Structures are given as C-alpha cells and as structure tokens.
Structure 1
Amino acid sequence: MVDEMLEKARIFSEELASRYGCRIAAAALYGSRVAGYAKPSSDVDVLLIFEKHPKGILYVYEEFGGLPFSVLTVDRRLFEYDLEKSALGEFVAGRLLTPFIPIVGGDYLRGCSVRFKKKVVLEALLNLESEYPEVYTEFRIKPEYFLLEKLWRRARMYPPVKYSYTRMLSEGLRDRNLPLMMEGFMEALKQLEEEGVVRFEDGYVVPVKRLGRRTNKVLSVFKSIERATRAYIVHGYAGRSVSPMKVAWEFASKILRETGSSENMELERPEHYIYLPSELGYSSLFERLSPEKVVETLEPFRGFKVVSVEKLGGVLNFVDLLTLRRNGETRRIVVKRFKDWYGFKWFPLSIWTVGVQKFALKGKTRMLREYSAFMRLSRWGLPSPKVLHVDLADKLLFTEYIEGRSFSDVLKRFFSGLEPEKPLESCRLVGRTMAEIHNRGMTLGDPNPNNIRVSDGTIYFLDLEQSSMGGDRSWDLAELLYFTGHMTISHDKAEEFALSILEGYLEVGDPETVRRVAEPKYLRVFTLVTPPNVLLAINRVCKSAPTPRKL
C-alpha cells in the first residue's frame, strides 16, 4: 500500500513539475498516512520542493490515481530560508519534525532535517541557559526533550498542528514514530558534541559550552508569536489557488478534530525530560514530591520514618530538620524552601548595599545558586553537604545535615572570654577555606558566621543562595570580618579575630583581595550594625595585612 502510494506521489509530483516548468529538488510523503493515524478519507500529504518555482509557495489539492492529494509546493531557496531563518514561520520546515518518507532527494531532505533540528536544539539550549543560568551546565537532558520542547512551542502558538502531534505520539503510535522523529536530532546532537557545545553521559545530553547570548524572556515570546503570525499568513497565501472556504475549512478542521476527540489530546511535558544530578541520582526538574515521599523514594532512606520536624534558622528562613529513624538507626535531612523575598530579607539588603553587592531575590534563582554551589564544592573535593534531592516546582532543596557547631557559637565563646585561644584556629581554617573556594572562581555572597559550620576541624559554608561564579571576593571577606564585628565591643578581640581570619586566607589567597576590603565602600555597609571602634580596628588590620605564612 505504501509503495503504491509512493509511486502515485512520484508520478503526480513529476506531472506538477512539468505543469510549472520546474525541476524537482526533493519530495517527500508526510502527515497522517505516514504517521499512522489517517482515516480512509485523509489526504495524501506531499512536500514538493522545486528549483526556481514561479509561484514561490502554493498548495495543490487534487485527486490523482484515486487518492486525494494535498501537495505543498515550495521554491528550494524559500524552503532553505525557512529552514535557517524561519522566514515562513517554519510553516514548511516544521514538517521535518514529523515522520516523512523521501520520494526524491532523500539525502538532501535528511541533511535539511539535521540542519533544522540542530537549530532547534541550539534555540532550546539558549532558552535553558537564559532561564536557568545557575545550573545550565548541571542539567542532564534526555534527547527527546528537544523534540517535545519544539512541539510544545509550535502547538501553543500555532494550534492547527497540535492534533497531528498528539496523534502521532499517542499510545500505540509513539514507539513507531518517536524514533523516526528523533533521527535528525541525534545526528544534530552528535555534531554539537564534536563542536564542544554538549557531551553525552549515560544517554543524557549535558550542556558544556555556554552559548553566551542571554535572551530576554519577553523577546523570546514575541519571537514565537512572530513565527506563528508568519505561519498563518503563509498558510493563507499558499492556498490562494483554491477556494478561500477550502483553506479556512482545512485550517478549522484541524482544531475541531482536537476539540471533538474523546482521546487525551495533551502533549507530554518536555520538562519531564530534564534532570539535575544529586548524590543519590537524578531529580526530574518539575517532579513534585512531599518530604515524606522523598524519604520513601531515596534508596539510602527507604524504611526510615520521619519522627520529628524541627525548625532551623530565623523567622525569614524556611528550613526544616527532619529526623528519620529505622530500627534504632537515626538519620537527619535538611529541607529548605526558597520563598521570593522581594519585601523582606534580601530586598532591604539590596537597597542598603547598592553599588557594592547585588543580592538575588527570586526563590528559584537562590535555590539553584545554592544547589550549584554545593555540587561544585563536592566536585572540587571541598567540604560541602551532599545534595539529596532538588524540587524546582516547589523550590525545595534536600541536603544532608552537617553535625558540629555554628561558627557564630564558636565566636561567642571567644568574644566572651570563655575560650580565649582555641577559636582562633577555627578562624584561621575559615579564612583558608574561603580562599580555597575563591581560588576556583566562586564567591559565597553571604558568608556571615551563622552560615558557617565547624565540624571536627572541617569548615562548611552553608546557606549559599547568594553564591556565584566570578563575584566579588572582597565582599565575602568584608562581610565575614565587618559583620562579625557586631558580636563584640572590644577592638582588641576584633583585631585578634581579623588577624586569624586573614592569616588563614593569605596562606593560599590573594593579598589584593584583602587590601580591597579596607576600601570605604565596604566599610560603609556595616556602619549600622557594628560598633565604630570595632570597624576601624578590623579596617586597620586589612590595611596592614600580615605576610602569608610559609607552609
């Protein structure tokens, strides 16, 4: 049956080429008869590409050999312009997203399919980089994401295609059609791997190279609307040789088929094909799980029950400590929920530190910064709590609980005179650990002593929601020194503390970072929280930073 249809399509294509005085560059069957959801009355859809087509683009609806044909004829240059620049709103090029059977010029069409799908992949990667810059290179993406993301965008902006997409990927046809639709994508991804843009890892696509072109979300939407508008216009123009009512009915029927169908006509969500790695596996980007369900799902915690939930942090933080128990064995997990603090904690700080330090306000941004910071520290072999699970939909981050003492508690005993010497070694370790992180290009953003934990001689920087790559290292050191100064009114104690921090920092860190901490712009930020005599004492220490100790 297919061979007979192909032969009739070939003969009809040659007849049309003769009619218009053109040479056939390529031709292919596509649509419902190829994808397997056709009705007996369905058209035989043909894409017919001519060299120097006098009509540019034109639909031909005719019966030939007892079959109803719907032939989209297009000039090759117009087709390639749509392929590369979306000049026709991808009205023609979009057909390469679906299964097709070449009639003429198979190699040319397959090459065009790869070129188009490579553009689709790059656009999807660019959107991911713009939407999630903090974790772009952490993503693990199933290749199917790129197809489904494109289908979603086209169906949202150009509804006539939704029926076709949902039917060809419906149960019973998905296993047959998806591999055909993915062929060009896999070749495109291999090319991008060779170019160093992505790499493959256990069947997942991992972004490697940042594309370096941040896109505005509003502009991206307008771009999609522009393409859809062009597609509508081209659709109407291509049907100019037939009755306007026939074009309108064809257009409307594609939408009516969807609304009149009893089947589930929803496309699969592309987000379900993006993952973020953790210590215990991959977390689906938008999978919603309650803390109790996460405990049941994570392999090391199966069989454990949540026996208590304890609030950690202050009133502006939503951090819970979950205690789990199984047959006398106890484990602890930290669950942190990231709210959008436009009117509370970070917004006033952003105003007060304007020109010095910029704080992230969105919960999603802060969560992803903290997640990526913990993952980087772990890869670098630096102390970090293990990330157990990430839930982007509800902005929840699950990490292991680090036993030990808060650096703030350690300093309280030092400043009060209860432990005059021992805490200074912890200060040196804090300074050194900060420098080791800075040396890898990462800054902490908010390293106040409440966000630092001392555990068996190891320093953990926690609460890294303001961390970033390439930030202001001097700000980190300034906040650690000047903000901590509010804990004492003794300039002598403040000097001892600052000297110990800087001694550790300068063991491996850059003296220029220390020198810049003495600049007035950093000092100004903390004048409302730290006594003036303490600020000045710490400032003097920074100006006369000690010589790095030889190891």
Structure 2
Amino acid sequence: MARSGAALGLGDAALGREVAAFEYPVRAGGNVIYERLVLRDAERDYIRIQQRNNVRAIITTYNLLLKDLSSSVVAENLALRLLTPLKVLFGESEIKGLRSQYVKRVISRIIDDVVGTYELAAINLRIPPSYFLVKWVKSKIAILPHLSRLFWWLDTAGQGHEDYMRAVLDALVEELDEACRLGMLVKADGFYSLNPDISLESVQSRKRLKIKGSLRPPLTDIRSNPRLSLDVLRLVLSEVQQIEISGLSELDPENLLYVPTARGLQPVSHDEPLLEALRTHLSLEKANAEFRIERRGSLLNSTFLLRIYVDGSLHERLFVKKYLSWSDIKWIAAKLWALPLRNFYLMPGTRMGNELFFLSYLRERGFRVPEIVYVSWKEKALVEGAIEAMTLTEAWTKMRASLGADLLERATTEIGRLLAEIHGAGIVLGDCKPDNFLLRPERGEYWVVDLEQASLRGSQSWDLSELVLYMGHYLSGEDAEKYASLITRGYLEIGRRDVVEKALNSAFQIAMLPWTPIWTQVSMFKSISAELNKR
C-alpha cells in the first residue's frame, strides 16, 4: 500500500509517484543512523539526495533500480542497498520482488565464479550462506569503497554484527533454498554445494553454469544520459565524504568456503606455509611434533612422503603432492607424445581440481582411493593419507619373487577387472600407468591413485592400451605377453569387448614408442588379440 511523499517529508510531484521505500543502517561519525531509499514511478531516470529532519534520503526511479540490479547500469550503487538489513516503509511487495531478483543474480554469479576458480573441485566445496554475501560485497567495495559505509557490520567486531547478518542471511537462505528446489544446489548441515547431477557436465567441459563475466560491476557508459551521469557522481561524492575505517579489508571470503577432508571441513583459504597449516589442521600445535620429509620418485617428480613423529614415535604417514606449473617437463612431454590421442591437462589448478573431485567421486562409488587430509590452494598442494602398498610395476619387478606366480597372476587379473569397473562408472583415468595402481594382493586390496588427468569423457581404450604397453618398458618376451594377457582377461570379465578391440589401435603404439620398444608392443598386442579370440 503506497504512502504519500508528504508522509515521509519528501514530496515533489515533479519526481513522480512514490511506489516503495525502505530504510537501512549506515555508520557515520562513529554512530549508526538510518538512511532511506525512495522509489518513484517516473519516465526519466534520475537520482536525488535530500536531507530533511536529520534523515538522508536517496530518491530514484523504480526502473533505474531494476536496471541496476539486473545489469549494473549505475555500477550497483543503488542495487547493493538491497543487501543491507533493510526495513520496508511501504511497497513491501515491490521491495521483496526487487530483492529476490537481485539475490538470485548474486547466487548465480557467485556459483559461476566458484566454478571458474575451482573448476571440478567446485562440486566438492561446502558453501555457507555468508560466503555468497561476503564474496559479493567484497568484490564490489573493492572498486566502490564508499559503499563500505553500508556494510561495516560484516566485520565480526562491527556493531550489531549478529543481528544485521541474520536479517540479510534470512533473505539469502530463502533464495538458496529455492535454488535447491530447482535442482541447482543441494543443502546439507547448513551448507550448500553444487548439484553434481546438473553441474558436472558443465564443469567438466569448462563451461560456466550461468552468467559469464567478472564479479566486479562494469563501468557502465551512461554518457547518453549526462544528467544521470551527474546524479551518480553526486551520489558517489556525497558518500565518499563519509567513509570510515573498517575491518572489511581484512575479511577474506575464502575463509568461509570449505573443502571436505577425512579430518573434517577445512577452509579453502590458508596463508600459512603448508607444514604450519598442517600442524593446525591435525591439532598438533601443542604436541611435540616433528615433520620429516622424503622426496619420492625421480628428480622431476613433485611428490613427497611426510612422516610425523610425536614425542619421538611415528604418529602418521602422509603423502604430499605439489602440482607444478606448465613447465613441469613430465606433462609437456606427455602432451607432445600423445597430442593426437589425449588432451592432457597442464595447469596446476585444473589438475588439482580434477584430483580432488575424482578422489571423492570414486570413493562415493565404493572404489579404494587415498583419503584427502589437507588441501593448499595457495601452494597447489594436496595431502593424502599414505598407503602402505606396492605398485603394480613393483609387483612385476622387485616384488615378483616374494609374491609368487599364483598371487601375482591373480593380482594382475584383478587390476584389469578394476579398470573395467572404473570405466563402467563412466570415468576415464587419462594417466593409466601401472604405477597408479596400488595393491596388497595377500589381502585382496587394490587402489587407484594419481587422478589429476581423470575425466568423464575420452578414450577408455587409451587407458587400457597404456596400462598394458607402459609395463613393456620393464618386461620383455614371455613376461610381457603374460602381463598383457592377464590384464586383458581381467578386463573382459566385466568390461566391454569393443573397448579392448579399440585398444589395439596402432596410434597408441606410436604414442608409447618413446617408452616401450615396438617389438615388445607387438607381442603384447598379440596377447590381447589372443584373449579376444577366446571369447
């Protein structure tokens, strides 16, 4: 129900009929006062500032606020006021509708930003409602600092922080819950996350979910309306004069974003060095803990074994993997060798995001994979629980004699079967070396590791061919043929025949030539063909 402008002391018939108004708290001179935004129905867009009876009011048109909240026509100088703990004076349905539209846009753009930043790992993140608010507001006031006078209460030390936050978050939660009902998000324990059923394909193909672009508002060209340009300038200048020092600059939205680990939820943002952050995450701050690091693999490798000793006794073994940049020789070489067959991911963030996602994805489907213990986005490092087991390569080389022929054959067949099960779950490993399968065959336990090149699309036949031919670097003659037969036999127990047939592609042989001699490859392919002919 509309009230007259005179009732607010802001009457001016030339400015159009009042349709809605709300007030919101601002901080000025160390005090909290209330300011008003009054919306009018007028053909020409404008912004006016009035000060009467110690009440500051911004008068503008309904249409201008609508355009600002949907397309940032005045850099959201007006729209951001909808994210304050506002109190409607009149026009409740109009204000509620405008706020709902704006909050929907905020949610959509924040999700888009999370996907762009964390890629596949975005699906694993747990997002509280406060993240949407803080992330959006921080991105705006970074270039519109005068608007910090509207959001001082975001600082936990700010006056009225809890009450004001609750009022705004209630509006956010209403729209977030609606996004859940529409299937865009899922909710659990007060956190929100992307719905993998509708998000996975979009993220995997590197497409954004909704609106593309930066969170920062565009510097909209309003030169076609010079009067409105002057109005915006007056508004900004009037508020620049009222800026006060606040703690907002120290507020890090990423501290509100969490990644699940085997040790509980971990904030994504950590500025501490990796070992210090681990000490905190593992609750070892007060313990007499010593960290001992051992490099694993070759000099070009970026993996380490971390042993933690408490009071002189071994407390825990962890595996640390640091994702190197595009100059990592291993992946440059891999991309060059297999370029026609497989698009290897090179960027550290992409590879770490892949690994995080597929570790969770496979675990949820019953596969044995390492536990996620800690993630450092700053250092591009992943800490996993160390698995005391041999690799398939070790089983066929230095551990072969101790295993015995029967156990080795059974274990190799099981690895072939495991790869078929992974393919049956719709996953392509991409980097399917025998080194990436760990086993404790005497217990019948098998793991898949090193998932940074995994994907939901690509050639399953490449996986199988690589798993077979890679081992040809270490084996020859009858041993190579036997290994190829056992892997193929296990795969065919539950896997698709056409995948095995396509694994005989000569292009795969060419890709593996820098590693495995052609004569060994030929004999291994003959063994695969022989297994196919048995069925």
The counterpart of 1:158, out of the listed 120, 144, 160, is 144
Change (3 A) 1:47 1:544: farther
Q: Residues 252, 99 of structure 1: CA spacing in aligned structure 2 closer, same or farther, 3 A cutoff?
A: same
Contact 1:42 1:68 in 2 (8 A): no
Alpha-carbon distance in 2 for matches of 1:406, 1:158: 55
Measured against aligned partners, the alpha-carbon deviations of 1:308-328 in whole angstroms (never above 9, x if no partner) come to: 322212212222212233465
Correspondence for 2:220 among 222, 229, 236:
229
1:503 touches 1:548 (CA, 8 Å); kept in 2? Answer: no
- Picking from 54, 64, 71, the partner of 1:67 is 54
Where in structure 2 are the equivalents of 1:132-531 lying within 5 Å? 132-166=118-152, 169=155, 171-208=158-195, 209-210=198-199, 212=202, 214-215=207-208, 220-221=213-214, 224=216, 226=218, 228-230=219-221, 237-238=227-228, 240=230, 251-252=236-237, 254-255=239-240, 257-258=242-243, 261=244, 263-266=246-249, 268-289=251-272, 290-291=274-275, 293-298=277-282, 303=287, 305-306=289-290, 308-326=292-310, 328=313, 330-412=315-397, 419-455=404-440, 456-490=443-477, 492-531=478-517
Structure 1 position 131 matched with structure 2 position 117: yes
* SS of residue paired to 2:249: coil
SS of alignment partner, residue 266 of structure 2: strand
SS, match of residue 394 in structure 2: helix
Which letter maps to 1:449? P
TM, length-normalised to structure 1: 0.85
Secondary structure of the 1:192 match is helix
Q: Relative to 1, partners in 2 of residues 1:435 and 1:407: Cα closer, same or farther, differing over 3 Å?
A: same
Report the Cα distance in structure 1 between the residues aligned to 2:33 and 2:23, rounded to whole angstroms. Answer: 11
The change in CA–CA distance for 1:467 and 1:146 in structure 2 (over 3 A counts) is: same
Which shifted more, 459-468 or 301-310? 301-310
Q: Deviations over 1:426-476 (max 9, x none)?
A: 211111111111111112221212222112332212222211223321121
Matched residue, 1:38: 28
CA shift digits 1:397-451 (9 cap, x unpaired): 1111111222111112598999555422221111111111111111222121222
- Structure 2 residue runs of 5 or longer lacking an equivalent are none
| C-alpha contact 1:446 1:467 (8 A) present in aligned 2 | yes
Q: Normalized against structure 2, the TM-score is what?
A: 0.88
What is the percent sequence identity of the aligned residues?
Answer: 22
Matched position secondary structure for 1:331:
strand
CA contact (8 A) 1:138 1:276 kept: yes
- Per-residue CA deviation, residues 19-45 of structure 1 (Å, 9 max, x unaligned), is 44x332211123xxx24x234999963
Partner residue in 2 for 1:244 = none
In 2, Cα distance between equivalents of 1:127 and 1:548: 53
Letter in 2 for 1:38: A
Matched position secondary structure for 2:432: coil
Residue 11 of structure 1 pairs with residue 10 of structure 2: no
What is the distance in 2 between the residues matched to 1:534 and 1:256?
78
Asked if 2 retains the 8 angstrom alpha-carbon contact of 1:91 and 1:234, the reply is no
CA distance in 1, matches of 2:406, 2:31: 89
Answer with 318-327 or 428-437: which moved more: 318-327
- For residues 231-252 of structure 1, the C-alpha deviation after alignment (integer angstroms, 9 at most, x for no partner) is x8699744757xxxxx757534
User: SS of the counterpart of 2:468?
Assistant: helix
Given that 1:391 and 1:397 are in contact with CA atoms closer than 8 Å, whether structure 2 keeps it comes out as yes
User: How far apart, CA to CA, are the structure 2 residues paired with 1:171 and 1:42?
Assistant: 11
What's the counterpart of residue 4 of structure 1?
none
Instruction: Tell whether the 8 Å contact from 1:414 to 1:420 is kept in structure 2 after alignment.
Output: no
Moved more, 112-121 or 442-451: 442-451
Cα displacement string for residues 365-411 of structure 1 (whole angstroms, at most 9, x for unaligned residues): 22222222222222112111211111212222111111122211111
SS in 2 for 1:70: strand
Structure 1 counterpart SS, 2:346? coil
Q: How many angstroms apart in 2 are the aligned matches of 1:59 and 1:235?
A: 15
1:58 is aligned to: 47
What is the rounded CA distance, in whole Å, between the counterparts of 1:251 and 1:77 in structure 2?
A: 20
Q: Give the Å deviation of 1:526.
A: 0.9
Question: Matched residues in 2 for 1:266 and 1:418: separation?
Answer: 60
TM-fit CA distance, 1:77: 3.4
Distance 1:404 1:168, change over 3 A: closer
Q: Distance in 2 between matches of 1:267 and 1:252?
A: 25
Alpha-carbon RMSD across the aligned residues, in angstroms, is: 3.4
Secondary structure at the aligned position of 2:19 is classed as strand
Aligned letter for 1:378?
A: R
Quote how far apart the aligned CAs of 1:81 are: 3.3
What is the CA-CA distance between 1:509 and the residue it aligns to? 1.3
Cα 1:392–1:193 change in 2 (3 A) is same
For 1:522 and 1:180, locate their aligned partners in 2 and report how far apart those are by CA, in whole Å.
Answer: 60
Distance of 2:11 and 2:403 partners within structure 1: 98
Asked if structure 1 preserves the Cα contact closer than 8 Å seen for 2:68 and 2:74, the reply is yes
- Equivalent residues of 2:484, 2:524 under 8 A apart: yes
Decide whether aligned partners of structure 1 residues 297 and 84 sit closer, same or farther in structure 2, where only a CA change above 3 A counts.
Answer: closer
- Stretches of 4+ aligned residues off by more than 6 angstroms: 7-10, 40-44, 216-219, 232-236, 414-418
Deviations 1:280-310 (A, max 9, x none): 1011111244325524532599847335322
| Conservation of the 8 A alpha-carbon contact between 2:126 and 2:193 | yes
Gaps of 5+ in 1: 1-6, 242-246
Give 2:65's match in structure 1, choosing from 79, 83, 89: 79
Match for residue 89 of structure 1 among 59, 75, 83? 75
Distance 1:451 1:168, change over 3 A: closer
Q: How far apart are 1:205 and its partner, in Å?
A: 0.8
Select 1:98's aligned residue among 56, 63, 84: 84
| Alignment check: 8 A CA contact 2:152 2:158 kept | no
Contact 1:110 1:184 in 2 (8 A): no
**Aligned residue type for 1:495:** E
Q: Do the aligned partners of 1:58 and 1:237 also contact (CA within 8 Å) in 2?
A: no
Distance in 2, Cα, partners of 1:11 & 1:112: 23
